[in-house]
Structure 1
Amino acid sequence: MELEGNNTVLALLGFAMIATFMVLIMTRRLSAAVALIIIPIVFGLLSGHSIDMGMMIIKGLMNLAPTATALVFAVLYFAIMMDAGLFDPLVERATRFAKGDPRRVAIATAIVATLVSFDGDGATTAIVTITAFLPIYRKLGMNPLILAVLMGSANSAVNLTPWGGPTLRAATALQVDMMDVFLPLIPVMIAGLAANFGIAWYLGTKERNRLGIVEMETDVSHLALDREEGVERPKLFWFNLILTVTLILSVVVQFLPLPIAFMIGLAIAVTVNYPVLSEQRDRIAAHAHNVLPIALLIFAAAVFTGIIDGTGMVAAMGSSLLAIIPDAVGPYFGVVISILSAPLTFIMSNDAYYFGIVPVLAETAGHYGIEAVEVARASLLGVAIHALSPLIAAIYLVAGLLDVEVGELQRFALPFALIVFAIMVLTALLTGAVPITA
């Protein structure tokens, strides 16, 4: 028997489903993709639904297909650009600019981390940035934790791009258009990057005062450009740059939908840079391990979002939260979500937060006139704090590469992450990306 008329039972089932989902993925009993498929089906059956869940899932798949398409082609496009060497001259100039000046080294670190972060892979950012700069930091006697701070903050801000993990999850969970989420967040992303460069100037100046300027050759840029031999295309640098700028502008001004833009962009990029068919296959195969998990996650999320919405659980959960929120707080719920995004993303994995918590917050916020897309933006503002979460693998990778303790890294980086977070929240509120009042 279906339970649509019993909001209390539906709400309890919904919260139980989210709790089960969070526990199983955070204890690593199930992968996120498997949990997103199995758990909602089980709870959908408990709510009295059966074969009709098929149409709920199909609806979820149809809603998320454009998102999956955009992400697959965007990740492949930027991977091809990294292979071809689009960012090589900028990385080389940044590392050469550093010389023996700790302040220049810190600024160059922020520049390289920002550029490399655009490929959407945090592990790549860590490996490239640390490989390029750790020898310089050690030679000068600089604190390697500064490297971690600047790299993490840059990567967090750039992760607001449509092909970044958090934005992907937020848009997927709420079934809203990624560009509607991202475009108003561009000033927020720029503010976050500006804050990071300010931190680089401050920490670099402190190190300069402590260590002085050392006249030495510090060009290790060749270390940052580690890739398969023979795949770079330096003669096509200007073509690739113009193509990338044109592609991004066409998306930002909404001349082309995001999926179509990156489909066309990838087709042109791989054909021009690697005209031999076997080379094209090799380049795409080389990055398939980055693309497949993204596609699996999105399509698995369609099961979760389709069932939690189709059974009425998310509406029931929103109504139950609405009953306990003071009326005076309601109009400021967008601000509340922005602030909560920091601690919630620190104590939860991305999947648990965006697929489990954010839909309930969005349903509740809707009663106060706050749109789902605004909730998606507010939920993303804690990315700088999330970068320090003990639940993500990247922090252990960074700590291992720098040979420091994770706790030491977290203690050093947290004050600066809080500064970046506060500036991003303030920018979002001032620009209207997140409403101060409904």
Structure 2
Amino acid sequence: MLAALGYTTIGLFLLLTMTKRVSVLVALVLLPVLAALAGGFGDELGDLILDGLTTVAPTGIMIAFAVLYFSLMVDAGLFDPLIRGILRVVRNDPLRITVGTAVLTMCVALDGDGASTFLITVSALLPVYKRLGMSPLVLSGVVCLGAGVMNMIPWGGPTVRAMAALKLESSEVFTPVLPAMGFGIAWVLVASYLIGRRERRRLGMLDSQDHDRTEDDRTEEAAEGRTEAGARPTAGAGDGPGTLRVPAPARPWLTVFNLVLTIALVVGLILEVMPLPVLFVLGFAVAMLVNHPTWEQQQALLDKHAKSVVLVTTMIFAAGVLTGVLTGTKMIDSMAEALVGVIPDALGGHLPVLVALTSMPLSLVFTPDAYYFGVLPVLGQTADGFGVPPAEVARAAILGQMTTGFPLSPLTASTFILVGMSGVQLGEHQRFIFRWAFATTLVMTAGALITGAFSL
């Protein structure tokens, strides 16, 4: 009963949001509430939701101040040299920009934190995409691919959970799939090339059409708020349509200060010298005081970026309602048991391949804790009964479960950072990049089979 209710809730959520029947926020709040009532948890509903909100509160605080911090730095021109450098290398070519996005994302993602990866890469690259009229879906999609494959690193969340759940070492889980990860990185570059080539053709066709229009046509479209490439306006870091840039005084020492502060903040994030929300709260307060010392300047900055903060943080707290209900009612646990129960005995010996192929789509259904601490131990024990080492199941799981799948999952807060800052809808993002992300898992699965990380 609970498993069916949980799967129905997730299925309805995906259906309603991907078909744009309701907003993501409404679905995240109302669907789990209805599920809890249907399951007889009405008396506990308040506590369940409050527990979920409490769980995501630190993430919501971190993201609110992180968006403000990086938006301030974009306004201050900190990323302008990087943008100019990228433009010099890619020569305003959408194809090269798309491949460059993948490379930059995979470099930044070495810190193992999806939230900071999205904050840094989107803040740096969104102005480039907007300047050339490129679709923000390409940005969110390619960043998703790069961050997904790099989330397999041993200090990333999924691999750590897999090792802890099955009491294994990194040499038993990650090292054998390192060649497969190389296959995945190569595929991400190929995929970004193909996506970029398609975007180049789209912009070329639009440019051709633009030449055929009269000046009056173009003036009318501009008045209607359309971008020159036909992409809809985006929200998030950087200058949006109709917004005013909040300039920082042009002082060389200020740029140096902002760079040192940002490097110190990133190092602090990696070393975890303080909780992440605290680091961003302090970092933003210092940055705003130095860059905008007057009350009027500070208010102008907050007014400009308030919309972006609200859009992202409300999604995160709404996601807390969904995870709070699914976890507190034990629907997640029942879903895990039901999943394992449907595996036929005849497939027991092929369990690693089965786990690998289902790992990425199941990121849309299970939180990382629910999968790695709920589903994976049962799968490992089942595999052991068929003579398959549990380590092979762990290797298969990290090929997709909350690695290639986490930047599409509504169950992870960082997904909402990516779509919120890129200015795209979650359903649009999922439809655009799902097949490419799933293909990453398929390529890595083939690589794992070829290199012997697990066998058929």
Question: TM-score range with shorter-chain normalisation?
Answer: 0.5 to 0.7
Residues 332 and 366 of structure 1: CA distance in aligned 2, closer, same or farther (over 3 Å): farther
Q: What does residue 21 of structure 2 align with?
A: 29
Q: What does residue 289 of structure 1 align with?
A: 307
**Alignment partner for residue 153 of structure 1, among 106, 131, 142?**
142
For 2:191 and 2:348, the matched residues in 1 are separated by 35
Counterpart contact for 2:36–2:325, Cα < 8 Å: yes
Q: What does residue 141 of structure 1 align with?
A: none
Residues 199 and 253 of structure 1: CA distance in aligned 2, closer, same or farther (over 3 Å): same
Give, in angstroms, the shift of residue 340 of structure 1. 4.0
What does the per-residue CA deviation read over 1:64-101, in whole Å, with 9 as the maximum and x for residues that have no partner?
Answer: 1111111111121111111111111122233235569x
Q: What does residue 30 of structure 2 align with?
A: 38
**Alignment partner for residue 39 of structure 2, among 47, 58, 71?**
47
The residue type equivalent to 1:11 in the other structure is A
- Give SS of 1:367's match: helix
Q: What does residue 378 of structure 1 align with?
A: 401
Q: What does residue 365 of structure 1 align with?
A: 376
For 1:264 and 1:379, the matched residues in 2 are separated by 30
Give, in angstroms, the shift of residue 59 of structure 1. 1.4
Q: What does residue 308 of structure 1 align with?
A: 326
Give, in angstroms, the shift of residue 290 of structure 1. 1.6
The residue type equivalent to 2:311 in the other structure is P
Give, in angstroms, the shift of residue 131 of structure 1. 4.9
Q: What does residue 247 of structure 1 align with?
A: 265
For 2:360 and 2:37, the matched residues in 1 are separated by 34
For 1:43 and 1:189, the matched residues in 2 are separated by 38
Give, in angstroms, the shift of residue 272 of structure 1. 0.9
For 1:24 and 1:201, the matched residues in 2 are separated by 32
**Alignment partner for residue 82 of structure 2, among 69, 86, 90?**
90
Residues 378 and 15 of structure 1: CA distance in aligned 2, closer, same or farther (over 3 Å): closer
The residue type equivalent to 2:270 in the other structure is V
- Give SS of 1:368's match: helix
For 1:122 and 1:43, the matched residues in 2 are separated by 37
Q: What does residue 129 of structure 1 align with?
A: 128
Counterpart contact for 1:14–1:314, Cα < 8 Å: yes
Give, in angstroms, the shift of residue 301 of structure 1. 1.8
The residue type equivalent to 2:19 in the other structure is T
The aligned runs of 1:20-419 (5 Å cut-off) are 20-97=12-89, 110-111=99-100, 120=119, 128-132=127-131, 152-154=141-143, 156-158=145-147, 228-229=244-245, 231-234=247-250, 235=252, 236-326=254-344, 339-340=357-358, 353=364, 363-368=374-379, 378-382=401-405
- Give SS of 1:57's match: helix
Give, in angstroms, the shift of residue 242 of structure 1. 1.0
- Consecutive unaligned residues of structure 1, counting only runs of 5 or more, are 1-8, 135-143, 169-183, 208-224, 346-352, 387-391, 399-405, 430-434
Give, in angstroms, the shift of residue 37 of structure 1. 1.6
Residues 246 and 306 of structure 1: CA distance in aligned 2, closer, same or farther (over 3 Å): same
For 2:67 and 2:447, the matched residues in 1 are separated by 28
- Consecutive unaligned residues of structure 2, counting only runs of 5 or more, are 109-116, 158-173, 201-237, 381-392, 410-417
Q: What does residue 16 of structure 1 align with?
A: 8
- Give SS of 2:337's match: helix
Residues 328 and 111 of structure 1: CA distance in aligned 2, closer, same or farther (over 3 Å): same
- The percentage of aligned residue pairs carrying the same residue is 29
What does the per-residue CA deviation read over 1:381-413, in whole Å, with 9 as the maximum and x for residues that have no partner?
Answer: 147999xxxxx999x999xxxxxxx9xxx8xx9
What does the per-residue CA deviation read over 1:234-273, in whole Å, with 9 as the maximum and x for residues that have no partner?
Answer: 5321111111111111111121221111111111111111
What does the per-residue CA deviation read over 1:34-79, in whole Å, with 9 as the maximum and x for residues that have no partner?
Answer: 1222222222122122222211222112211111111111121111
Counterpart contact for 1:61–1:299, Cα < 8 Å: yes
The residue type equivalent to 1:367 in the other structure is V
Counterpart contact for 1:362–1:375, Cα < 8 Å: no
Q: RMSD across aligned C-alpha pairs, in angstroms?
A: 5.3
Counterpart contact for 1:192–1:424, Cα < 8 Å: yes
Counterpart contact for 2:102–2:145, Cα < 8 Å: no
Counterpart contact for 1:33–1:300, Cα < 8 Å: yes
TM-score, with structure 2 as normaliser: 0.58
- Give SS of 1:379's match: coil
Counterpart contact for 1:156–1:383, Cα < 8 Å: no
Residues 123 and 257 of structure 1: CA distance in aligned 2, closer, same or farther (over 3 Å): closer
What does the per-residue CA deviation read over 1:151-176, in whole Å, with 9 as the maximum and x for residues that have no partner?
Answer: 853464258999xxxx99xxxxxxxx
Give, in angstroms, the shift of residue 19 of structure 1. 2.5
Give, in angstroms, the shift of residue 287 of structure 1. 1.6
The residue type equivalent to 1:318 in the other structure is A
Counterpart contact for 1:13–1:43, Cα < 8 Å: yes
Equivalenced residues, count? 348
Counterpart contact for 1:40–1:308, Cα < 8 Å: yes
The residue type equivalent to 1:43 in the other structure is A
Residues 262 and 149 of structure 1: CA distance in aligned 2, closer, same or farther (over 3 Å): closer
Higher relative CO (Cα under 8 Å, sequence separation at least 6) belongs to 2
Give, in angstroms, the shift of residue 303 of structure 1. 1.9
For 1:27 and 1:202, the matched residues in 2 are separated by 26
What does the per-residue CA deviation read over 1:312-331, in whole Å, with 9 as the maximum and x for residues that have no partner?
Answer: 22211211111112468779
TM-score, with structure 1 as normaliser: 0.60
Counterpart contact for 1:78–1:119, Cα < 8 Å: no
- Per mean C-alpha deviation after superposition, the further-off stretch among 74-83 and 288-297 is 288-297
- Per mean C-alpha deviation after superposition, the further-off stretch among 188-197 and 286-295 is 188-197
For 2:436 and 2:124, the matched residues in 1 are separated by 19
